[in-house]
Structure 1
């Protein structure tokens, strides 16, 4: 029996390693190609390690004429605005649905579920007309409004599960010890909800940062492109009919950098939130 279990674990480990390599290979190839000249990228003989590579592709992308800086500023602004508003609104909504009993509560929860069931493409025309009527086309404010409306329902549903998982008795015990309701919430409940807020924030961040379809509808001007739109235009053939794949790969790496930085920050916050919640509880 022990031999069979050991064999099974080894097979599972081998399968996991193979899947991990398959998942990581496109990322490795993107980074590797970003340092290579066009002649090596298009060569029939692959270059596995970019020995002798250079930063020329990154310098070309960061050149002011490419529009990368403007697209980065727009994406960061839209993502920051949408993320903050989404987390605040969804968190308050999750608290109301989980902690309080009010008229129309079930209808509200049902409406949140129904909104998630609607295909996003079915609302493009209505959303476009609404933003155009507000004169917010090609603006950060207009795109942020739509992104908040897009992300809030599912984020609220996620946070509702986390809030419902924290017993209200903890707050009541703290209030018996002399805390006000607000103090009990901030000292006891909030640290326990920190991992849930981080998980929901990660979802909201990825949804907004990588969104392409809505941005292509609402941000039609070249001067108001988000990074996904900029990367689409940057990967189109030049006037000589050739795609600068090295620069495209370098641009893709630069687009991924904020995501990596965000995850590094979030990972630390998630760990501290879980430890703080365990101590407070």
Structure 2
């Protein structure tokens, strides 16, 4: 029996295991990947290099990643002569509280949108999505006005609430899509056995949603960890509450910018975030892919 010739599209979309790529094509793919990695990693290496340079060589054009006269003086200054540890601690407190509140609110709200039909359900989902289309500067004015009237400016609580308001809508969409992939039969079987709805949610749905919960936690954490504009508006006048993003702005004086201190602080705040991402990488891919389609 003569085989039917395949179209170009069919050959292109064949599984990789059954498609034979030419050596030249594989070489191009690997070169493209290597180039992408270099473009992504090189700026980070340059920041590390600047943080290790002596003060009189900060503007050196040398391409060496580790300078021959490397020093840790910038790290010592940031840690012991500045308020950097206080700023980092403030950031940890604020971002952790934001992430925990975001997970709790998004997990319960997304479950309601996924499992129950109630008046305003569809418009509510559209409204949550539409809030993500507004630029962040547009949201700062109403948030600041409300916080001022409630006496929440220059407080931890006010900044945490502001961060939660901006991160929860998108988190609800992520978790709602993931909950839709969990068979309802699992909960129905538990309800038949006499388990309450809350207990079924706690014992069945949440354990199965660990990847999506990790995504929501990381999204809320990173949104607060790297934010500058909202923190500048909410707590700029209270130096003791500054986050690290506001604090490193203090390294820029009227006549000069301390690039060595900037770089050293950037490296130190990136290390815990990188460790968090590496630890949770096993949940990231499954959380993003399974929550994007309904199974």
TM-score by length of 2: 0.82
**Which residue matches 1:70?**
86
**Quick check: 1:84 aligned with 2:89?**
no
**Quick check: 1:197 aligned with 2:226?**
no
**Which residue matches 1:228?**
245
**Which residue matches 1:13?**
30
**Which residue matches 2:176?**
160
Considering fraction of residues, name the structure with more helix: 1
d(CA) in 2 for partners of 1:223 and 1:33?
A: 28
Q: Which structure 1 residue ranges, 5 or more long, are not aligned?
A: 274-281
**Which residue matches 1:277?**
none
d(CA) in 2 for partners of 1:19 and 1:13?
A: 10
d(CA) in 1 for partners of 2:110 and 2:145?
A: 30
TM-score by length of 1: 0.86
SS of 1:36's partner is coil
Q: Which of residues 206, 211, 231 is equivalent to 1:215?
A: 231
How many residues align structurally? 269
d(CA) in 1 for partners of 2:29 and 2:275?
A: 31
d(CA) in 1 for partners of 2:151 and 2:203?
A: 44
1:257 Cα deviation after fit: 2.3
1:103 Cα deviation after fit: 2.0
- Counterparts in 2 of 1:182 and 1:129: CA distance versus 1, 3 Å: closer
d(CA) in 2 for partners of 1:200 and 1:51?
A: 43
d(CA) in 1 for partners of 2:69 and 2:137?
A: 46
d(CA) in 1 for partners of 2:100 and 2:77?
A: 33
State which drifts further: 258-267 or 175-184.
175-184
**Which residue matches 2:293?**
none
User: Mapping of 1:1-281 within 5 angstroms?
Assistant: 5-64=22-81, 66-175=82-191, 181-221=197-237, 222-234=239-251, 236-237=252-253, 241-267=255-281
